[in-house]
Structure formats: C-alpha cells, structure tokens
A and B are shown apart, each in its own frame.
Chain A
Amino acid sequence: MTDTMNNAATDGLRFFGRMSAAISHDLKNTLSIMNESAGLIEDLALLAEKGRPLEPQRIHQLGATIKRQIQRNDGIVRNMNQFAHSVDNPLKEMSLASSLEMLLSICRRLTDARGIAVSVASPDREIAIVTRPFYLYHLVWRLLEWGLDYAGAGKRLVLQIDPVPGAVRLVCRGLEGLTETGAGQCPPSQWHDLLVLLEGRIEVAADQQSVAAVLPQRIDA
C-alpha cells in the first residue's frame, strides 16, 4: 500500500500542478479585463481633463465589468480553495454533483483547448460518497483526459453520476471515437494506483461509447 500511495502522491503532484496552472490562467484573464477596465477609466479621465465630456454611462459600464470580473475571480478562488483542501482529510463525505462541477470548472480551460464541451449529469437527489477526495478528483480527471481523445465529431462529453446498490458509477459518455482497440487499452497502467486507493474498478464499453469508474459508496478507514 505504501508504494501505491507513494506513486499516487508523485503522480498526484503533477495533477495538482496542472490544475493550479489552469487556475492561474483563469485568474490572469480576469485580472487582464480588470486591468484594461481601469486603464480605460484613466484614459477617459485624461480626455475629460482635455475638455472631452465624460459620459457617466460609460463609467457605469466599466464599473459593472469590474464587479463582474471580481465575482468571477471569487468563484475561481473558491474552487481553488476547495480543491486545495481536498488533501486535508484522508477520507471525507463528498457531494458528487457539486464536486464534479467544481473540478470541471477548474479544468474548463484544458477541455476548451481541445474544443470539447463537458458537462455533469446527476440524478435529482443528492448523491454522496465517503472516499479519498483528492484521489477521486485525480481519477475523474484521468477519465476525462482519456475521454477527450475519443470524443469524436460530437465534441461533447457528459460525466454522469449513476447510483447503483452500494456503489456509484461515474460514467463518461459521448466517446464517439472509441474503438474496441481503444477500449481494450483501458484502464491505462497509470490508473492502477488510484483505483487501488479508491477501491474502484473501470468498466469500458465501446458499443455504448462510454467508460465508467465504479466506486464504493463508502471506504472504511
């Protein structure tokens, strides 16, 4: 188990770094918009000093832009905080829908860069599991990253939360480009340690264009 944990920790650091870089990109973008808004206010003030009438409506618009970006920034930082705290507890009860939404929001830039839209589909009722939070995020990212290669022409993946007795299936659907050969190579060896730590297994079905991680409802300490 120690080797498994060491491998997962090393690999996990890479994942953590990649997500942190994606978050920093998003922050840089909001900062850029605020920077240009502030710059434009300065420009308008300089023009007003030279006699051009200042349009209050324009200032209101720029104020609204800055507020919107502050809210966006706040959401990014809140996600970053939740993600960072996922390493605090070895085991924790997690609400799956909100946790997956949070992860998708963090890695949106990476999935967008591939031109693929990803969404979460969950049942109406709350589905929670007791698991290892950070490793769960890592496995979901692995699933998604693998799925991006098989998204096909549809360019749309759905992460579906599917409760079954005593377990939950996290199904990545929309793998239009998935072949039997591709399915045969899943799960890749790099997923092994994560699956051991999460006491899970992978089910891949090329005919259903899906791959699923089956995870227990509760991991005991």
Chain B
Amino acid sequence: MTTKVLLVDDEKEFLDLLGERMTSRGMEVDTTTSATDALKITEDHTYDAIVLDLMMPEMDGIQVLKTLKAKHPELQVILLTGHGSIEKGVEAMRQGAMDFIEKPADLELLTEKIKKAQARKMILVERKVEQEVREILISKAW
C-alpha cells in the first residue's frame, strides 16, 4: 500500500527536493508552503503522515498541529524543527505530534518515522471502525 504524505514548509525548494526524494522511494507526496492551505487540504484528502515545519508564516506550527488534531484526531503529524533545543519538540509531542525531527532531516530517519505513523494510523482507524460497528450492533439490537 502506498504511503501518502503531506509536506508543509515555507521553503519551496526544500519541499520540491524532499518531495522528489520521497516520491522516488515509492511514497505519494503532496506539498504546500502555506499552513492555511494545509488545513484546507486535509479537509478533502487523507494522509498517513503530515510532515509539518514548526515555524511557518501566518500560523505557528504548534497552532496548526492543534487545529489538525482537533479536527482529525487520527492524523499523524511529524514536526520538523529548526530549533537547536528539544523544548519545542517536547511541547509538540504534548500537543499530539507523533514525533519530531530536527532540520536538516535525515531522510532514512524521516522515512522510518513516516512508516511508524502509517502503522499507528491504521491501528487508530481500525479501532474507530470497530467502535462504530459495535455502536451500530448495540443500537440496532437485532
């Protein structure tokens, strides 16, 4: 199954390069330089992982993360941070990020985290479906 990833970063060249490398590794990649667009895109598309830059124009990465998680709790977000310290990363985890990775990112490490995100999302979706089926069975009580 193809892994679907959304990359969000205000550096267009970075997005193009990383996107190309990830695509050549068999992933299906969408990109956007705008945090606002990222929120819109996730309304209509589903992703196994969202790789999100922590510091974006318009909206702070943590704010984007909070909004995404509030609307789609099953979304797996990996934050890219230019911070030298792990403080922001820890805060991001507390806000629901699956993981964080420091820039410049090692692609093999990022790919590993994306695979983990995909597996975790599958489990969450399966649980959600199970729960929905159980609720239907209980409410119908044939």
Interface residues of A (CB under 8 A from B): 21, 24-25, 28-29, 31-37, 39-40, 43, 47, 65, 69, 109, 112-113, 115
Contact = CB atoms under 8 A, between A and B. Distances in A.
Interface in B1-51: 10-11, 13-14, 17-18, 20-21, 24
Contacts of B107: 36, 39
Interface residues of B, number: 21
B82 A24 contact: yes
Contact of B13 (A24, A33, A113): A33
A29 B103 contact: yes
A32 B20 contact: no
A119 to B, nearest CB: 16
Given A39-B17, A40-B20, 15 more contacts: A25-B82, A28-B82, A29-B103, A31-B103, A32-B103, A36-B18, A36-B104, A39-B21, A40-B17, A43-B24, A47-B24, A69-B13, A112-B57, A113-B57, A113-B60
A36 B82 CA distance: 15
A113 B59 CA distance: 7
B14 A33 contact: yes
B29 to A, nearest CB: 13
Contacts of B82: 24-25, 28-29, 32
B14 A29 contact: yes
B58 interface: yes
Contact of A65 (B13, B24, B57, B104): B13
A36 B13 CA distance: 9
A43 B24 CA distance: 9
A123 B29 CA distance: 48
Contacts of A21: 83
27 contacts: A21-B83, A25-B82, A29-B11, A29-B14, A31-B104, A32-B11, A32-B104, A32-B105, A33-B17, A35-B105, A36-B14, A36-B17, A36-B18, A36-B104, A36-B107, A39-B107, A40-B21, A43-B21, A43-B24, A65-B13, A109-B55, A112-B10, A112-B57, A113-B55, A113-B56, A113-B60, A115-B57
A47 B24 CA distance: 10
Nearest to B36: A115
B84 to A, nearest CB: 6
B120 to A, nearest CB: 25
A131 B108 CA distance: 51
B13 to A, nearest CB: 5
A43 B10 CA distance: 24
Contacts of B20: 40
Nearest to B60: A113
A148 B100 CA distance: 30
A65 B17 CA distance: 10
B22 to A, nearest CB: 10
A103 to B, nearest CB: 19
Contacts of B104: 28, 31-32, 34-36
B49 to A, nearest CB: 18
Nearest to A69: B13
A53 to B, nearest CB: 15
A36 B107 CA distance: 8
